[in-house]
């Protein structure tokens, strides 16, 4: 059975919603629990499909994992397994985050090349290069990335691009390496800072989290901890765009608004009124939105994960918009589905030109990834008639109770099984 979302357009969303922990953080924190024997507890975890997927990966490595609502308990044995097989990791990309911790704990890791969203090529060359500079030998063998080492030692590593995944795997390997590791051109995302905070709570010595340069002084061992997952800025941003698209009024809690500074500034340019609070923000759109240009960049730039929402908003905004995708080359697959709904869009390489002000009309559409699926649901909120969104298992991987939360804000979204 495959589920669909049936979205009836025309509702103005209003009310309050609270986001839970970040998908892009919790899965990496779960992997980091491999670094210490004993029970690590994570709170504020999102109840999304990827969390039990990662739990299965960890169980396959010898951990005992208990999922209790928004709390996850991970008990890591003294000796973890090193082989994360295909069946466990094929469901989602974040499973590769076990590579660094396994290399650190076992000096050996064998991780099947992961699956996940169809948004473009995401090679592991920077992951491998970083581990090799720490003393590991790596190669691809029978569909797996393999890392082996006699010992790990500190190194100076400069990334060609501030890759989030490579930064995470190098960090989690270096915390148990002998000596000092300096990671230059590191990713600066809030989820990286969250990982560094948890590692520090476990006994790691890390400086520079949130900057371009992170310095790690290796330690002999780490201890388990209890940690609260940072709020999900991408889910929060999705609600912000839902308010702007439906000319609504939504207050979003559970998030540091500084993690969405540029996103909220773009919405102001589109005509929204934005108020920020210490743990949230409010977006009110009283007039039709106006066109705004976007280009996706690593944090603190505009996040690629909100690009589909930006395109959806531009489609119904007054004027011409140019959206430039600098991170994933296949993310514009979303545009083809928007054109089914009546969007006036043309793609030129890594640019898409949107001629806004169109009235969208319902059609069957297909989610190609988590964020594309959410963007199509938002488009359905302003389309005439009933829009049927297929392959919503993608959305379930990143948005807890998405239809229920939308309906609580005044939308009309129904989950149906085919």
Rounded to the nearest angstrom, the gap between the alpha carbon of residue 42 and the centroid of all alpha carbons in its chain is 17
386: buried, middle or exposed (CB in 10 Å: 19+, 13-18, 0-12)? middle
Q: What is the mean pLDDT of residues 77-86?
A: 89
Helices 125-133 and 99-106 meet at what angle, rounded to 10?
20
352 pLDDT band, cuts 50/70/90, is very high
Q: What is the DSSP string of 168-217?
A: HHHHHHHTTSBSEEEEES----HHHHHHHHHHHHTT-EEE-TTSSEEEEE
Binding residues: 23-24, 93, 305, 327
Separation of alpha carbons 23 and 237, rounded Å? 13
Q: What are phi and psi of 310, to 5 degrees?
A: -65, -40
Cα–Cα distance list, 391 to 79, 171, 201, 306, 329 (Å): 39, 34, 39, 19, 21
Report the CATH architecture of 23-228.
Alpha-beta prism (3.65)
Partners of 275 in beta bridges: 282
59 pLDDT band, cuts 50/70/90, is very high
Nearest residue to 392 via CA among 408, 371, 361: 371
What is the pTM for the complete model shown?
Answer: 0.94
Separation of alpha carbons 52 and 396, rounded Å? 12
Other Cβ atoms less than 10 A from the Cβ of 396: the count is: 18
Binding residues for UDP-N-acetyl-alpha-D-glucosamine: 93, 305, 327
Angle at 315 between CA 310 and CA 317, to 5 degrees: 90
Show the beta-strand stretches assigned E in 44-119: 64-68, 71-76, 83-84, 108-112
Separation of alpha carbons 385 and 63, rounded Å? 48
Binding residues for phosphoenolpyruvate: 23-24
Task: Map out the domains of the chain as residue ranges.
Answer: 3-19+231-417, 23-228
295: buried, middle or exposed (CB in 10 Å: 19+, 13-18, 0-12)? middle
Hey, is 358 helix, strand or coil? Answer: coil
Give me the catalytic one of 50, 117, 194, 249: 117
pLDDT in tens, 194-232: 999 999 999 999 999 999 999 999 999 999 999 999 999
328 pLDDT band, cuts 50/70/90, is confident
The CATH superfamily holding the domain 3-19+231-417 is: Enolpyruvate transferase domain (3.65.10.10)
Known active-site residue 85: no
Token code pair at residue 267:
């919405």
Token code pair at residue 194:
């969250």
Q: Residue 294 has what DSSP assignment?
A: E
Q: Report the percent of the chain where pLDDT is more than 90.
A: 87
Predicted confidence at residue 233, as pLDDT, reads: 98
Nearest residue to 50 via CA among 95, 18, 102, 87: 95
pLDDT in tens, 280-325: 999 999 999 999 999 999 999 999 999 999 999 999 999 999 999 9
Separation of alpha carbons 362 and 192, rounded Å? 39
Q: What is the mean pLDDT of residues 10-19?
A: 97
Nearest residue to 231 via CA among 50, 1, 23: 23
């Amino acid at each position: 059975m495959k589920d669909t979302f049936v979205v009836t357009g025309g509702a103005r969303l209003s009310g309050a919603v609270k986001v839970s922990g970040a998908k892009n953080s919790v899965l990496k924190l779960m992997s980091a629990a491999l670094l210490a024997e004993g029970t690590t507890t994570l709170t504020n975890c999102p109840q999304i499909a990827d969390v039990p997927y990662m739990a299965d990966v960890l169980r396959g490595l010898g951990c005992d994992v208990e999922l209790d609502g928004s709390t996850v308990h991970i008990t890591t044995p003294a000796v973890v397994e090193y082989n994360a097989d295909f069946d466990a990791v094929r469901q989602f990309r974040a499973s590769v985050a076990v590579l660094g911790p396994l290399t650190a704990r076992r000096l050996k890791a064998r991780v099947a090349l992961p699956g996940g969203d169809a948004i473009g090529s995401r090679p592991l060359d920077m992951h491998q290069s970083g581990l090799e500079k720490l003393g590991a030998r790596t190669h691809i063998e029978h569909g797996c990335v393999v890392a082996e080492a006699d010992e790990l030692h500190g190194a100076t590593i400069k990334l060609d691009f501030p890759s989030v995944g490579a930064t995470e795997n190098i960090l989690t390997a270096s915390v148990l390496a002998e000596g000092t590791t300096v990671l230059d051109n590191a990713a600066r995302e809030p989820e990286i800072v969250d990982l560094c905070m948890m590692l520090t709570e476990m006994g790691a010595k890390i400086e520079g989290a949130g900057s371009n340069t992170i310095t790690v002084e290796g330690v002999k061992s780490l201890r388990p901890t209890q940690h609260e997952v940072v709020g999900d800025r991408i889910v929060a941003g999705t609600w912000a765009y839902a308010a702007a698209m439906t000319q609504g009024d939504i207050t979003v809690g559970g998030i540091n608004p500084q993690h969405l500074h540029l996103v909220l500034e773009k919405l102001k340019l589109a005509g929204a009124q934005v108020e920020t609070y210490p743990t949230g923000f409010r977006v009110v759109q009283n007039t039709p939105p106006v066109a705004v240009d976007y280009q996706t960049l690593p944090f603190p730039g505009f996040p690629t994960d909100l690009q589909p929402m930006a395109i959806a908003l531009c489609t119904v905004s007054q004027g011409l918009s140019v959206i430039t995708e600098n991170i994933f080359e296949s993310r514009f697959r979303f545009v083809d589905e928007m054109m089914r709904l009546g969007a006036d869009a043309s793609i030129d390489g890594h640019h898409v030109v949107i001629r806004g002000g169109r009235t969208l009309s319902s059609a069957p559409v297909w989610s190609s990834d988590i964020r594309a699926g959410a963007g199509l649901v938002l488009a359905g909120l302003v389309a005439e008639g009933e829009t049927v969104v297929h392959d919503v298992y993608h959305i379930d991987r990143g948005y807890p109770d998405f239809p229920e939360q939308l309906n609580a804000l005044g939308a009309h979204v129904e989950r149906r099984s085919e």
